[in-house]
Amino acid sequence: MNLLRSYRIKLLLWMIVLFFTETLRAEDGYQLWLRYNEISQPELLSHYREHITQIVIQESSPTFQAVQEELRKGLSGLLGEEIPVASSVSQDGAVVVGTLEQSSIVRKLAGASELESVGADGFIIRSLRWDNRTVTVIAANQPKGALYGAFHFLRLIQTQQSLDKLSIQQKPRIQKRLLNHWDNLNGSVERGYAGRSIWKWNELPERIDARYKDYARANASIGINGAVLNNVNSQAAILTKEYIEKAAVIANVLRPYGIQIYFSIKFTSPMEIGGLPTADPLNPSVRQWWKEKAKEIYQQIPDFGGYLVKAYSEGQPGPQNYGRSHADGANMLAEALEPYGGTVSWRSFVYDISIDPDRAKCAYLEFVPLDGDFASNVFIQNKNGPIDFQPREPFNPLFGAMPKTALMIEFQITQEYTGQAKHLVYLAPLWKEVLDSDTYAYGPGTLVADIVDGTADKHAISGIAGVSGIGSDRNWSGHHFSQANWYAFGRLAWDTSLSSEQIAEEWTRMTWSNDPKVVNLIKKMMMGSWEACVDYMTPMGLHHIMAAGHHYGPQPDYVNRRRIDWGSTYYHRADANGIGFDRSETGSNAVSQYHQPLCRIWNSPKTCPEKYLLWFHHLPWDYPLESGSTLWERLKFHYQKGVDYVILMQKEWDSLQGKIDPERFEHVQNRLNMQKENALLWRDVCLKYFGRFAEKEEKREP
């Protein structure tokens, strides 16, 4: 009897442990936005069960295997019952997925002319009646289009939209939608805040980590179609036989998901691993070395995407080491990749202070004269702003200034300057502000987005890159909310016209809950979080006053004697007379790098928007603003406003207790607390430091 009782107790305890382990595992953030939990509202569930009774696929390529696997997993999970896969329609509620070329059913359901307009990556989703049955068709020209369509269909259900009368047609505006990993070959990640690199080079090519596939699924679900595997501060080793073999294994896992791999290369590779005495891009042996290297890569990775290059910047070598130009360097690589369809993304992140004492002007001065000199498979990859992923910057003036060159935009998903993985900062509004900025390159209405997608200047290639924040942490991104930035980057890369709010809502529904209270509150928190970060870190156009090196927290008094433009005082220029960097025509004249009327508007402190005021102007502390306050009062107001927002987010999050699973709830609660501490520090340190100048006069009074 006793034995039986103790056996029962053990069994019960074991079941409890199992239950909790499963619950915890289910809600540790690993699944990202692909959670596929069963829908709890009975009415909705029956709506979906009515519309989805079988998955009909007639194709068996690796991409279609991925489509089938995802739809089966997703639909069965969401509907709480196994959805069978078939090769023909046998009942109402069939979901047919296929390409025009391979699927006889798709050929009957979707016309060639209809599909023509969606291109290689696009898809259509339609509700139809066919053969007396209700059918949903997901049709595309290519398997990858069908994969994107399948993920979109899942998203409709995850966000609880009706499946009645679907009539959707989508295609991406930008061709290359890339993640740039700043992952080093030793497993560390530059500016990574989510653990180590997910690429386990020491295990490859023998062992294939299960995460590679989940990484591919997540990216494909938001349309990302390329990954630069290694850091732009590159090592020549990535081009050795050993690493090419390892990378080929990663490429094999990502390929079915429509993702190509790319390498960041080191310009001196021919010397470091090729035994040549020079890396001069005009030297015939060097050119031949790059051609042979391309051949070697494509033999192993036939769909290899190309190279990303950081040249002659922050210690990386470049063509300038040999007296050559950016164009000489980029074109040499482009020539080697061209026979295979590869591209070169040559970064414009250069700031040789000998070119101009204002760092913000350097890239423009170096690159604009080269417009027209680059090969047609070269992108110039520009960061979103002219300095370096600051919480807020005006758009990079290279957009609109190099019409003969394909320009890729580079955003930073990893939050180097925006609180790292400790702060809840939703970056879509920042990226939207940039993409929606009017460059006035051809009069009003030429947005940065139009230049990036190639339409403004009629380029055959277009691209967008996001510096990945992904790491080995179980939740991939460090902060659960940093996942939203990965998601938002992909969604915007697919469609730059989506609103930040729509993306936040989708992500919240898929990641947290469809409960209206949760959705509305989380969306609200997210939507104001970037502006709050700007407020408590660098309001009114201030920039780069972060702590030296790690860039977390404030250090406005930082002076770097070796490189003045690495110190904070270089940027804020606070003194007894005022604060801000004078980039007006009486200062560095960086405003002149923008088209009219922007140049004129930003040139005067009277018309310059408050958000860019101290970016373009050095103004007295008592400068009267339109709001009626002085500059110093307004600065104090912004710092306080930023802090208040974080405190508000804490309250809002706390009110969600019980509506969010405990593990993720606590994780976010703890991080919000860290964020509040850090926001307070920013406010106090900056106001104390600036106050020493601003309140000098007041203090002198008896």
Q: What is the DSSP letter of 306?
A: E
Looking at beta carbons only, is 35 or 310 nearer to ligand GCV? 310
Q: What is the DSSP letter of 625?
A: P
Residues 506-545 that bind ligand GCV (CB under 6 A): none
Q: Give the residue, chosen from 36, 64, 123, 182, that forms a contact with ligand GCV under the rule CB under 6 A.
A: 182
Task: Kindly give the residue spans of alpha helices, DSSP state H, lying in 495-623.
Answer: 500-511, 516-537, 568-572, 598-603, 613-616
Residues 292-321 that bind ligand GCV (CB under 6 A): 310, 314
Residues 409-448 that bind ligand GCV (CB under 6 A): 416
Question: How far is it between the farthest Cα atoms of the chain?
Answer: 94
CA neighbor of 218 nearest in space, from 72, 435, 36? 36
Binning the chain into helix, strand and coil, the percentages to the nearest 5 are 45, 15, 40
Place of tokens 């209700």: 134
| Residues 395 and 432 sit within 8 Å (Cβ to Cβ) | no
C-alpha to C-alpha distance for 580 and 43, rounded to whole angstroms = 58
C-alpha to C-alpha distance for 379 and 405, rounded to whole angstroms = 7
Looking at beta carbons only, is 139 or 465 nearer to ligand GCV? 465
Looking at beta carbons only, is 388 or 582 nearer to ligand GCV? 388
Name the minimum Å distance from CB 182 to ligand GCV: 5
Looking at beta carbons only, is 549 or 702 nearer to ligand GCV? 549
Active-site amino acid positions? 314, 388, 416
Strands 123-130 and 54-57: unpaired
Q: Give the residue, chosen from 61, 65, 102, 233, that forms a contact with ligand GCV under the rule CB under 6 A.
A: 233
Sheet holding 94-99, edge to edge: 85-86, 54-57, 94-99, 133-140, 123-130, 167-170
Name the minimum Å distance from CB 74 to ligand GCV: 36
- Compute the CA torsion angle 231, 234, 235, 240 (nearest 10 deg): 80
C-alpha to C-alpha distance for 375 and 625, rounded to whole angstroms = 48
A 10 A CB-CB count for 424 gives: 26
| Residues 161 and 509 sit within 8 Å (Cβ to Cβ) | no
| Residues 694 and 646 sit within 8 Å (Cβ to Cβ) | no
Query: How many residues form the binding site for ligand GCV (CB under 6 A)?
Result: 10
Name the minimum Å distance from CB 115 to ligand GCV: 40
CA neighbor of 649 nearest in space, from 528, 501, 536? 528
Name the minimum Å distance from CB 549 to ligand GCV: 9
Q: Give the residue, chosen from 190, 335, 371, 438, that forms a contact with ligand GCV under the rule CB under 6 A.
A: 190
C-alpha to C-alpha distance for 220 and 254, rounded to whole angstroms = 9
Looking at beta carbons only, is 10 or 563 nearer to ligand GCV? 563
Looking at beta carbons only, is 59 or 388 nearer to ligand GCV? 388
Distance of CA 615 to the CA centre of its chain: 25
Name the minimum Å distance from CB 444 to ligand GCV: 32
Looking at beta carbons only, is 393 or 450 nearer to ligand GCV? 393
Name the minimum Å distance from CB 680 to ligand GCV: 25
Name the minimum Å distance from CB 191 to ligand GCV: 5
Q: Give the residue, chosen from 388, 433, 506, 582, that forms a contact with ligand GCV under the rule CB under 6 A.
A: 388
Q: Give the residue, chosen from 263, 289, 304, 349, that forms a contact with ligand GCV under the rule CB under 6 A.
A: 349
* Residue 232 interacts with ligand GCV (CB under 6 A): yes or no: yes
Looking at beta carbons only, is 312 or 653 nearer to ligand GCV? 312
The number of helix segments (H) and strand segments (E) in the chain equals 23, 14
Name the minimum Å distance from CB 417 to ligand GCV: 8
Interface residues with ligand GCV (CB under 6 A)?
182, 190-191, 232-233, 310, 314, 349, 388, 416
